[in-house]
Structure 1
Amino acid sequence: MVNNNEISPFAVTSFRGHEKVFGIKDDDRRRHMYLIGKTGMGKSNTIEHMAIYDIQHNRGVAVVDPHGESVEKIIKFVPKSRINDVVYFNPADLNYPIAFNVLEKVSPEYRHLVSSGLLGVFKKIWADSWGPRLEYVLNNAIMALLEYPGSTLLGIMRILTDKIFRKKVISKITDPVVKSFWINEFSKYPDRFQAEAIAPIQNKVGRFLSSSMMRNIVGQIKSSIDLRSIMDDKKIFLLNLSKGRIGEDNSALLGAMIITKLQLAAMSRVDIPEEQRNDFYLYVDEFQNFATESFVNILSEARKYRLNLILAHQYILQLDEKVAAGIFGNIGTICSFRVGAEDAEFLEKEFEPRFMQNDLVNLPKFHMYLKLMIDGISSEPFSAKGIAPLPIPGESQEVVDKIIKITRERYTTKKDIIEDKISRWSGVMDVEEEDKEKKVDRSWPKERSNLDANINSPSSSQSPKVQAICDNCGAETVLNFEPDPRKPIYCKKCLKDIKEKRINSSRPAARPNSNIPRKEISLAEAFKKQPVDFKNRSRPSPGGAG
């Protein structure tokens, strides 16, 4: 049974020289928390303290950190009893990428949320060069891929340039508006207009996908992390999206995609009664990097699904106008550290008459003014101080090493394997491999293809089973042989079609009149030696007939 009155401490208040730690009830945390203040004023320290408290009290937690420092500190406080609960998502661990496919298994009613979330972060990153035509084409590309099995973000580039792949995707589209766009509109664009329409998308989306780090994460068909399971089982999801290691744009894109999928995972909890939903606490530091217009939906709907947000950033102008309105309209607890003059003017409306603009700009470090949600009602503003940073445990490095090892074993695949799969999916073969094939000694027996191996595969008891992805339809299949990475792989259904086509096409066509003897003539007889009059367009026919 959930105790809604359990208190999570996060600050200290002082009265007549006596300091007392205070906190917020679990039920009030469901109305979310918002922290604002200049850099270095204590926001991250408050987030770290609250997240560590939740972790040590067996709660479900996700921390999205665009700097990486808070996550690297929080992970050191994980109790040994909870090491197996941690999923440490570190894109900078290049040799062991975690699979995260934002397009995987999205219910029809939520597809527009994924599309708007992706478009929102793309628009945020390229605000200066964003246009309506780019958004229109990109939205239809994403909506189409959401209906095609085995799609990833890599498909965005392919659906725009590969006519065969586009035809396969169109055959799976059920949305009449999206299907009409690809059949009746895009396919009828003149080549020049089509090239102009897709060039901005290739330039922008291609920038992300050209990075092997991003490609190896978002290009895998099946995600290795189940966000719904993480929420329901009260696991610990730590995202180290350090801008310095993976780049600012990559950090923003990954963070926005994961937050969108967390929202979808939370909304899917509609299949269980509200009182049985475990609280899950989502901490987002510097959240302006991930805050798109679709973020307003999370703020307004997350409470009923027990997704509780703790958001922090530096100043209000970092936010879109709609997002800012959504925050101050839905947030229960507001904590203000020292802010600039413009923010103080805005926040004064929340804290007056107790605290005025001058008070907000002169707060000492680690001090805050806050309006605390108490039993569903916002309190009068009061002052407090953040709890002092906790000392690092002595065995912290041993814990961190174990967590990284377990995460690699359970949730990652080696880089070489992923890159090979993506190359085969893209239809790309290294020049070296092509050269090897050209240099094969033809006196040796012809090497058996994956198609032949599928047709004549031995019994399952004699060969190991190998998991693979069909290169034709993207479905998962099991092989009874070790596939050749240079050759395509097919599932049973596609194999049957390919086999029939190969057998039919292998039958030699009848050659009419093949038994009629032909008269052999010389070249001189075939072409009569006479000058050709180029002014006269007619030419002499072979054999001299004019």
Structure 2
Amino acid sequence: MALHLAARLHAFVHGLFRSSDELETRELFDKVNALFRQNKLSNKEARLDLVYNIVSVVLVEFQIDPQHPQAKVIIELILDIFNYEGFFILPNIDWRERKSVSAYWELRDQINVQLNLIEDFYKTKTIITLAIIGFLEPIYSACPSLLSSVSSDTDITVSTDLVRNFGDIGEVTEAVLINAFDLALEDAGLFARLSTRLEQNLVIASGGNPADPRAHAKAFKTPTKSDIKDAKNLATTYLNGTPLLRLFLQKVDFSIPTESRFEHHHIIAGSGHGKTQTLQYLIAKDLKAVAKGQRSVIVLDSQGDLIRNISNMAEFAEGGPLHDKVIIIDPTDVEWPVSLNLFDVGIERLQNYAPLERERLTNSILELYDFVLGTLLSAEMTQKQNVIFRYVTRLMLHIPNATIHTLRELMEPNSQIKFAKDIAKLSGTAKRFFETEFASKEFEQTKKQVLRRLWGILENQTFERMFSHPKTKLDLFTAMNTGKVILINTAKDLLKEQGSQIFGRFFIAMISQAAQERAILPENKRMPTFVYIDEASDYFDRNIGIILSQARKYNVGMILAHQYLGQLDVKLQEAFAANTSIKFAGGVSARDARTLSQMLYCDPNLIESQPKGSFAAYIRGVTKSALPLSFPFGYLENQPSMTSEQRKALQKVMRRRHAVYYTELDIANGDIKSGEAEELDTTKKPDDVSTDAGSEW
């Protein structure tokens, strides 16, 4: 029936008779919208469900737990890609608004893109999913630690830039680009915006005009051929303006497992590369575990800077979480020499052990004396000449209150007469040796050589005072098992090279002995202990393998740091390589890099290319090959520090617990008579005065 004229006019005004472009556009829109509803994509929530569906497939592909940090990264990546490409979003059209022909064409183009996506929805979803897996696969292959299990709260974790952890950033970036330019994506009409932007970036990197990429006639400079040295800059150049860049710029938590740390850690880094800063970071992390009662920490430092930075932390001040846990051994506090004795090795405690344990520990102690006092013996001495040293040290264990002066006296002529009563306490071969061989001419030269070196060491008054005590005022066995922080300054500038070496070896031997004594404890009662030794080459000889293997058995891990391989002879290098599961290398010579690359299973260039604060890091059983690992500078220095008054108060506590005022020693040794001391007023202990050394803590 014909419409009334007024009705026809009303219909025309309100759009009943619309242009063919509008009608065509609306029909297309309604068709695609119906397909969206059919595939349950009618709203934002449904689109988000699709994203999570793809996420779940990707997580299964890479065996990632939904609670793993990478799950969030993948969710954000897929959301970014969906929004970047406009996947499954129909344009918001106000049909009441009249538009130009070109506007309708543009709208139909947008709707046709969505039609292409939704017509074969399953195929589209599959291609998108495979593409995302393709983008991620090169990254996870290059850095498997990204997918490792969430670390224990007792592990050391380092937050580092992911791009610094790729062995070859160019290869990883190029692999991602190749996947983005896959012909299957182009044929499916997918990822058009992404491929266009990546092509523009490639043109820019190759020196061309991004506004006209097709006009670029020269060969493209791909990431593997790029001259860009900085990993972050390279990734940004080729991936800028795309969701993929965010993948490369993420931070990654690299964890050093506690169990691996018990298998020891070797750090080799040239001067100024960041070795001390790295040690400080690791120590600071360990101190948090100490505060929770989860471990002990021991630090040996010959330069003093490391000890000073650590001991200055406010956590050690009165009221701090580590106040009652700290022990500071500082030879530079010369008026208060720490009370030490090479031969006070806890024999009384050993008497309470079963005969087998007692004999085993006694033999270990004798073995460790070879290590401690090995510097007194010439490298040219024969094994036969070394026999005297073994018997002498066994005798020392039977002499009450024996000190380093007792050892000196034993090396002097006719000492077998002076110590006849003590020799009588020995039995068997040891006793027979002193009765028949000790005074013979065959060993006379050996005794003279040891005596001469002893006099040389004892000439250092500070060293002599520290080792003149009949009793050691530090029980390392107890300290290590009760969660202490033990800071030992071996003070090379004060004790000089040989004195510092013996001082450091003494403590390493005490640590080793305390570790072996843990055999009497159940495994769950052996407090994890980590021993940091800076400039470790100063202290170790070929006994290092024995010391490290014994320590490992009893939850004691050592971190051994020094500057270059030449500080270790070939046999010692082999011992370090075989007995350390964690290896860091950076800032070394090309020659050292070649040698170390075999231990770290990497290319020498990876080691040589590490910037300051970064290392090629390898962990046996954790990484297939070395990967770059960066440590922040100034981490420890940025922690709250003690005030001057707090340092003085802590120094008083350390003096009272572990030292003796120097005049007491001089009186005991007969260097000062009691009356002279009173006259000089030197026996009054200035507890209220801090020495210069104390103020430097």
TM-score normalised to the size of structure 2?
A: 0.56
Match of 1:71 among 301, 304, 307: 307
* In the alignment, structure 1 residue 304 sits paired with structure 2 residue 553: yes
Given that residues 338 and 660 in structure 2 are in contact (C-alpha distance below 8 angstroms), is that contact kept between their aligned partners in structure 1? yes
- Tell me the secondary structure at the aligned position of residue 92 of structure 1: coil
Query: C-alpha distance in 2, partners of 1:159/1:68?
Result: 34
1:29-428 → structure 2 map (5 Å cutoff): 29-57=261-289, 58=291, 59-77=295-313, 79=315, 80-104=320-344, 105-106=346-347, 107-124=358-375, 127=378, 130=381, 135-161=386-412, 162-174=415-427, 176-187=428-439, 189=440, 196-352=445-601, 355-373=602-620, 376-390=621-635, 391-423=638-670
Q: Deviations over 1:478-501 (max 9, x none)?
A: xxxxxxxxxxxxxxxxxxxxxxxx
- Tell me the secondary structure at the aligned position of residue 424 of structure 2: helix
- Tell me the secondary structure at the aligned position of residue 9 of structure 1: strand
In structure 1, give the amino acid aligned to 2:459.
S
Seen in structure 2, the aligned counterparts of structure 1 residues 382 and 195 have a Cα distance that, compared at 3 Å, is closer
Q: Deviations over 1:464-522 (max 9, x none)?
A: xxxxxxxxxxxxxxxxxxxxxxxxxxxxxxxxxxxxxxxxxxxxxxxxxxxxxxxxxxx
Seen in structure 2, the aligned counterparts of structure 1 residues 139 and 276 have a Cα distance that, compared at 3 Å, is closer
Match of 2:219 in 1: none
Match of 2:156 in 1: 8
* In the alignment, structure 1 residue 25 sits paired with structure 2 residue 257: yes
Q: CA deviation at 1:275?
A: 1.8
Q: Deviations over 1:239-280 (max 9, x none)?
A: 011211221211110110111111111111112211221111
Seen in structure 2, the aligned counterparts of structure 1 residues 320 and 4 have a Cα distance that, compared at 3 Å, is farther
Seen in structure 2, the aligned counterparts of structure 1 residues 11 and 418 have a Cα distance that, compared at 3 Å, is farther
Query: C-alpha distance in 2, partners of 1:41/1:259?
Result: 26
Q: CA deviation at 1:124?
A: 4.5
Seen in structure 2, the aligned counterparts of structure 1 residues 335 and 196 have a Cα distance that, compared at 3 Å, is closer
Seen in structure 2, the aligned counterparts of structure 1 residues 11 and 183 have a Cα distance that, compared at 3 Å, is farther
Given that residues 376 and 450 in structure 2 are in contact (C-alpha distance below 8 angstroms), is that contact kept between their aligned partners in structure 1? no
Given that residues 118 and 256 in structure 1 are in contact (C-alpha distance below 8 angstroms), is that contact kept between their aligned partners in structure 2? no
In structure 2, give the amino acid aligned to 1:287.
A
Given that residues 52 and 78 in structure 1 are in contact (C-alpha distance below 8 angstroms), is that contact kept between their aligned partners in structure 2? no
Given that residues 368 and 385 in structure 1 are in contact (C-alpha distance below 8 angstroms), is that contact kept between their aligned partners in structure 2? yes
Query: C-alpha distance in 2, partners of 1:337/1:156?
Result: 43
Given that residues 10 and 21 in structure 1 are in contact (C-alpha distance below 8 angstroms), is that contact kept between their aligned partners in structure 2? yes
In structure 1, give the amino acid aligned to 2:322.
R
Greater strand percent: which structure? 1
- Structure 1, unpaired ranges of 5+: 434-546
Given that residues 45 and 389 in structure 1 are in contact (C-alpha distance below 8 angstroms), is that contact kept between their aligned partners in structure 2? yes
Q: How many aligned residue pairs are there?
A: 420
Q: CA deviation at 1:134?
A: 5.2
- Tell me the secondary structure at the aligned position of residue 302 of structure 1: helix
Seen in structure 2, the aligned counterparts of structure 1 residues 35 and 11 have a Cα distance that, compared at 3 Å, is farther
Q: CA deviation at 1:209?
A: 2.3
Q: CA deviation at 1:171?
A: 1.5
- Tell me the secondary structure at the aligned position of residue 172 of structure 1: coil
Query: C-alpha distance in 2, partners of 1:126/1:182?
Result: 20
In structure 1, give the amino acid aligned to 2:545.
V
Seen in structure 2, the aligned counterparts of structure 1 residues 195 and 323 have a Cα distance that, compared at 3 Å, is closer
Query: C-alpha distance in 2, partners of 1:50/1:163?
Result: 50
Q: CA deviation at 1:310?
A: 1.2
- Tell me the secondary structure at the aligned position of residue 488 of structure 2: strand
Q: CA deviation at 1:45?
A: 0.8
- Tell me the secondary structure at the aligned position of residue 81 of structure 1: coil
Q: Deviations over 1:209-258 (max 9, x none)?
A: 23321222222111100001111110110001121122121111011011
In structure 2, give the amino acid aligned to 1:42.
G
Seen in structure 2, the aligned counterparts of structure 1 residues 301 and 169 have a Cα distance that, compared at 3 Å, is same
Q: CA deviation at 1:414?
A: 0.9
Q: CA deviation at 1:127?
A: 4.8
Q: CA deviation at 1:82?
A: 1.4
Seen in structure 2, the aligned counterparts of structure 1 residues 195 and 50 have a Cα distance that, compared at 3 Å, is same
Seen in structure 2, the aligned counterparts of structure 1 residues 320 and 151 have a Cα distance that, compared at 3 Å, is farther
Query: C-alpha distance in 2, partners of 1:318/1:124?
Result: 16
Given that residues 403 and 468 in structure 2 are in contact (C-alpha distance below 8 angstroms), is that contact kept between their aligned partners in structure 1? yes
Query: C-alpha distance in 2, partners of 1:419/1:315?
Result: 42
Match of 2:692 in 1: none
Seen in structure 2, the aligned counterparts of structure 1 residues 124 and 362 have a Cα distance that, compared at 3 Å, is farther
In structure 2, give the amino acid aligned to 1:200.
Q
Q: Deviations over 1:379-414 (max 9, x none)?
A: 432112112212152435444333212101111111
Q: Deviations over 1:417-456 (max 9, x none)?
A: 1222233xxxx787998xxxxxxxxxxxxxxxxxxxxxxx
- Tell me the secondary structure at the aligned position of residue 342 of structure 1: helix
In structure 2, give the amino acid aligned to 1:177.
T
Query: C-alpha distance in 2, partners of 1:10/1:115?
Result: 40
In structure 2, give the amino acid aligned to 1:386.
F
Given that residues 13 and 22 in structure 1 are in contact (C-alpha distance below 8 angstroms), is that contact kept between their aligned partners in structure 2? no
Q: CA deviation at 1:323?
A: 3.2
Given that residues 610 and 628 in structure 2 are in contact (C-alpha distance below 8 angstroms), is that contact kept between their aligned partners in structure 1? no
Query: C-alpha distance in 1, partners of 2:380/2:666?
Result: 31
Query: C-alpha distance in 2, partners of 1:112/1:206?
Result: 28
Q: CA deviation at 1:115?
A: 3.8
Query: C-alpha distance in 1, partners of 2:546/2:152?
Result: 24
In structure 2, give the amino acid aligned to 1:148.
I
Query: C-alpha distance in 1, partners of 2:313/2:482?
Result: 20
Greater helix percent: which structure? 2
In structure 2, give the amino acid aligned to 1:406.
V
Query: C-alpha distance in 2, partners of 1:262/1:19?
Result: 37
Given that residues 111 and 146 in structure 1 are in contact (C-alpha distance below 8 angstroms), is that contact kept between their aligned partners in structure 2? no
Seen in structure 2, the aligned counterparts of structure 1 residues 125 and 344 have a Cα distance that, compared at 3 Å, is farther
Given that residues 331 and 490 in structure 2 are in contact (C-alpha distance below 8 angstroms), is that contact kept between their aligned partners in structure 1? yes
Structure whose alpha-carbon radius of gyration is higher? 2
1:449-528 → structure 2 map (5 Å cutoff): none
Q: CA deviation at 1:312?
A: 0.7
Q: Deviations over 1:177-204 (max 9, x none)?
A: 22222101123x25xx665442211111
In structure 2, give the amino acid aligned to 1:75.
S
Query: C-alpha distance in 2, partners of 1:277/1:196?
Result: 44
